[in-house]
Chains A and B, each alone.
Chain A
Amino acid sequence: MKLERRGGNPVVLTIMYIVCIFLAVLSLFPFVVMIVNSTRSTFEIQQHAVSLIPSTFLKSNWAQFTGKSFNPFKGFLNSVIIAVGATACTVYFSTLTAYALVAYQWKMRQPVFVFVLCVMMIPATVTTIGFYQFMYRIGMTNNFLALILPAIYAPAAVFFMRQFMLASLPLELLDSARIDGSREFYTFNRIAMPIMKPAMATQGIFSFVGTWNSLFIPSVILTDINKFTMPLMVSLLKGDIYKREFGAIYLGLALSVLPLFVVYFALSKYIIAGVALGSVKG
């Protein structure tokens, strides 16, 4: 019995490894092709589209890519502004709302929590038409605030922070802060928040990646090409101007994906752990 446990079944194990390695290749292959092809000329790509050997056309692809009607640096900067702003809003206010649900005894506490659970199920995209017309009326289209401020309302994040807080925020600590004369808002900012840092970091990563990747609502709100985010600029890559310039398309894609690769491989441990905590919506 013990022997069996230590060694396992070699046939089964071999199958497992073959499948896992195949899936790993499947995950990586498109990105490898993308990166290698971003260094190859369109002519080379059309001769043979799959190659693992980088070529020397990175510079000319770059020239083609940046010589178009949009500025990728601007898109990158716009994405950073929106993602940082929205993430800050989501993390801070979701923590505050969760704190209200955990640290205080109030009549509406349970109903509010049930409310959060219910609205969590309804995606924002179904009300986009009304949101767009509302923003249009008050002149907020092409305004980043229209994409940042709604992030204050993030029911999934509230739910996540609440679950975490219930497990890791000692309420006695808040009591002793009160005895020391600390005001409630100060207690939240200076005592509760530092304890919540790991959960806030996890939530922050997911909010950031989610906002960075979002396409539907930005594509409705942002119509000025100078305000475009990375995904919106990427969507231009498919347009006719790039139809034949495969090298530049692959380079543009590689550039749009690069920041995410850096974030992901630097923080993968926390990201995987965060996903495992469950209730973070992708």
Chain B
Amino acid sequence: MKQKGHGFSYAKYGYLFCIPFFVAYLVFNFYPTIYTILLGFTDSKGLGNINFHVYTEDVFRNFRTILHSKSFIISLKNTVVIWIMNFIPQITLALLLTAWFTSRRNKIRGQGFFKVVFYMPNIITAASVAILFNALFSFPKGPINDLLIDLGILDNAFNFPTDPKSSRWIVAFIQFWQWYGYTMIILISGVLGINPEIFEAAEIDGANDRQTFFKITLPNIRTILIYTLITSMIGGLNMYDIPKLYLNGGPNNATLTANVFIYNQAFAGSYMYNRAAAASMIMFIIIAICSTVVFFIMRDRD
């Protein structure tokens, strides 16, 4: 009886201690979300202009403009393509390294060092990395061109910055290079969380490394793989820093991602806040759908 009374009197602190979190959410996230939705239905544009009117006759005007905009469709396609170009090699290499680093037969020395070095590009400012790669791939004289010529791979310097295909690959490569170490560490920690008795049993049964990996390790880290997939997907749909600073979406819109498109609509010259807001909402819906789908897959497992 007394204990129950205790519990009740303390419950209010649960609410109380959550207040700052929710106030910050309402002010800095919920309200801006509503505001963004609203702006998507208005004629808001122009720097410093905070007067706007809701389109009453043609409510979805901005949304239609955006969905019919060639640049937006290109940017959406680029975002997905660049993400896939980075994610497939990233997850493949991360899985391979995970298999190696957790192998019970072939133990690699210096794992700590390799982990630290592989993860390092991830914490370096993406803005700096993009500009660094821009300098590395410069034309006609640049470190990569020099190196490729010295190694005999190229005869003449290649104009990386103006070639759409290679620019896209370079952006995807930078994303890959920054993130495979992170993914590897997550996956390794997942493997280390598997009950070692399962591995011992497999070993006694005479399973080789490959069988162990495909039949035991992979199924057991399924949840973590899905987690990696969804966080990478959300990050990929929000890709901004690298494409923006590497070649500002160019050449010929080859590295224009959705977020770069949104930024350019709103802040680079034309100040079309209404269209940028509509594009944001379209991205919001895409991300929400993708997240929900994967979230429910994850929940089943837990």
Contact = CB atoms under 8 A, between A and B. Distances in A.
Interface of A: 4-5, 8-9, 12-13, 16-17, 20, 23-24, 26-28, 30-31, 33-34, 37, 45-50, 93-94, 96-97, 99-101, 103-109, 112, 117-119, 121-134, 136-137, 149-150, 152-153, 158, 184, 188, 209, 212-213, 215-216, 219-220, 230-232, 234-235, 237-238, 246, 249-250, 253, 256-257, 260-261, 263-265, 268, 271-272, 275-279, 281-282
B105 A4 contact: yes
A23 B240 contact: no
A159 to B, nearest CB: 12
Contacts of B25: 119, 153
Contacts of B113: 24
B146 interface: yes
Contacts of B262: 128-129
Interface residues of B, number: 107
B131 A50 contact: no
Contacts of A112: 18
Contacts of A12: 106
B169 interface: no
Contacts of A279: 227
B95 to A, nearest CB: 13
Contacts of B273: 129, 133
Given A5-B105, A130-B35, A134-B31, A153 B24 contact: yes
B226 interface: no
Question: Binding site of B, secondary structure by majority: helix, strand, loop or mixed?
Answer: helix
A130 B32 contact: yes
A5 B143 CA distance: 43
A144 B272 CA distance: 25
A73 to B, nearest CB: 17
Contact of A119 (B15, B29, B122): B29
A272 B146 CA distance: 35
B17 A276 contact: no
B230 A126 contact: no
B21 A152 contact: yes
A261 to B, nearest CB: 8
Question: Binding site of A, secondary structure by majority: helix, strand, loop or mixed?
Answer: helix
A13 B231 contact: no
Nearest to B133: A30
B29 A257 contact: no
Contact of A49 (B24, B97, B143, B185): B143
Nearest first, the 6 A-B pairs at minimum CB distance are A130-B36, A130-B35, A104-B14, A106-B14, A276-B189, A100-B17
A12 B31 CA distance: 56
B222 interface: no
B275 to A, nearest CB: 10
Nearest to A158: B21
B172 to A, nearest CB: 15
B33 A127 contact: yes
Given A123-B287, A133-B39, A97 B20 contact: yes
A282 B182 contact: yes
16 contacts: A30-B136, A34-B132, A48-B146, A49-B141, A100-B13, A100-B15, A105-B10, A106-B14, A121-B291, A127-B35, A130-B39, A152-B23, A215-B245, A231-B127, A256-B128, A257-B124
Interface stretch (B81-89, B211-219, B277-285): B277-285
B147 A50 contact: yes
B104 A278 contact: no
Contact of B119 (A122, A136, A271): A271
B125 A213 contact: yes
A16 B10 CA distance: 56
